[in-house]
Structure 1
Amino acid sequence: MKALVLTKKEHMEIQDRPAALLKNHEIKVKVSYVGVCGTDKHLYKGLPGSGDANMPVVLGHEVSGVIAELGSEVHSTLNVGDRVAIDPNIPMWIMPFLP
Structure 2
Amino acid sequence: MNIGKALALCRTQKGMTKTNLSQLANVSVSYLTLLEQGKRDPNLSTINQICQAMNIPLSIFMFLASDVADREGISSELAEKLAHTALSLMEPDSE
TM-score category, normalised to shorter length: under 0.3
Rg larger for: 1
- Please report the TM-score for the alignment, with normalisation by the length of structure 2: 0.27
Higher relative helix content: 2
Higher relative strand content: 1
By relative contact order (CA 8 Å, sep 6+), the higher-ranking structure is 2
